Amino acid sequence: MVHAVSPSVKLRNHGYDLPSMQVDLRQSWRIGDVEIPSRLVLAPMAGVSVQAFRRQGRRFGAGLVCSEMVSCAGLSYKNERTLGYLRIAADEHPLAVQIFGSEPKVMAEAARMVADAGADIVDINFGCPVRKVTKTGAGAHCLEEPARACAIVEAVANATLLPVSVKMRRGLANGSRVCLEIGPKLVEAGAASLTLHPRSAKQMYTGEADHSLTAELVQLVDVPVIASGDIVSRAKAQTVLATTGAEAVMVGRAAQGNPWALSQIMGEQDEPSREDVVAELVLFIRETVRELGEQRATGFLKKFYGWYLGRGRFPKPFKQELVQLATLDEVEQRLFAAAPGARFVLERLEDELPQGDEILLDLPISIYGGG
């Protein structure tokens, strides 16, 4: 039985200045024995959270970064594309690798592979609302089967010495409060942290995240709770932290093509120049090619052009022009033509990039060459 702690005590323990209700986002905290240097977490996002995205997030202030969700079945069958998600760079730490599935034994095997790959935290996805995931019994569907969900957490916690975190939605249906019923049970089963995105699976990303549920969850468990959903500004981050007592906030869609959102949440208010935007985009292109190979990267990157170049930074037709170019070299040249000074910014960025070995499992070389 977990006993509730008063809101004022929790806020004080979490580093709040109670008179101003502000929290120092640069204060470190822990999930298990993993120290996290800031209270900003970069969300796991399918089709987005590649290594280049995670490394960028660390540079812009995220204390913890997360991989996109990795299929435990794909790991079990040694699928090359899935195994490629376990490529981890030295400068990503601390890093959570997120796995999803519906069978405790298979999830436990996946957790062991995640630990061998060098992750710091194993994150379990009980939040994905996408039909192709929930229909297999994974993602948000697990919230409707508490016994299975707890068995998965227990199996994963017993399979590795790494701390286990769980990311979940409020439930499948609108108005559901299942997260409050299952949260304490997941902690009892071995979860060292919980992340709540308080929308239903049915909502997907519509409406607003109901962080009153986050506040209730904080009172029910004695592990760190991360607040996810609608964290788009420093003001919103501070409001959610102050009103929920959560340990940290998770930023997702706001950081897509806009790493400056992370630094602004951390208190740096400068808007990027056109040169800054182009330099970061070109660096992201180059890092993604290194990771995925040019063939895969070419298609993958197209959605990022609009994300980087939008928000009034460049004329709308410019993004469409880039999408239609045949090669990434042509994309780079067109970007530099639009902001010539970006070449000098890029040189500085590349000089400042941390150097370090990557942890590579004994995997087929084709994974690392985009095969």
DSSP for 266-310 reads TT--PPPPHHHHHHHHHHHHHHHHHHH-HHHHHHHHHHHHHHHHT
224 secondary structure, DSSP code: -
State the Cα–Cα distance between residues 34 and 317, nearest whole angstrom.
45
State the Cα–Cα distance between residues 193 and 187, nearest whole angstrom.
8
Our measurement of the distance from residue 112's CA atom to the centroid of its chain's CA atoms, rounded to an integer in Å, reads: 20
Phi and psi dihedrals of 248, rounded to 5? Answer: -155, 170
Phi and psi dihedrals of 66, rounded to 5? Answer: -130, 145
- Annotated catalytic residue 66: no
Q: In this structure, are strands 358-359 and 88-89 parallel, antiparallel, or unpaired?
A: antiparallel
Q: Which of 201, 267, 216 is nearest to 246 (CA)?
A: 216
State the Cα–Cα distance between residues 240 and 196, nearest whole angstrom.
12
Q: Which amino acid is residue 203, in one-letter code?
A: Q
Residue of 128, 142, 150, 179 marked catalytic: 128
Please say whether the beta carbons of 100 and 72 come within 8 A. yes
SS3 call for 207: coil
Active-site positions read 128
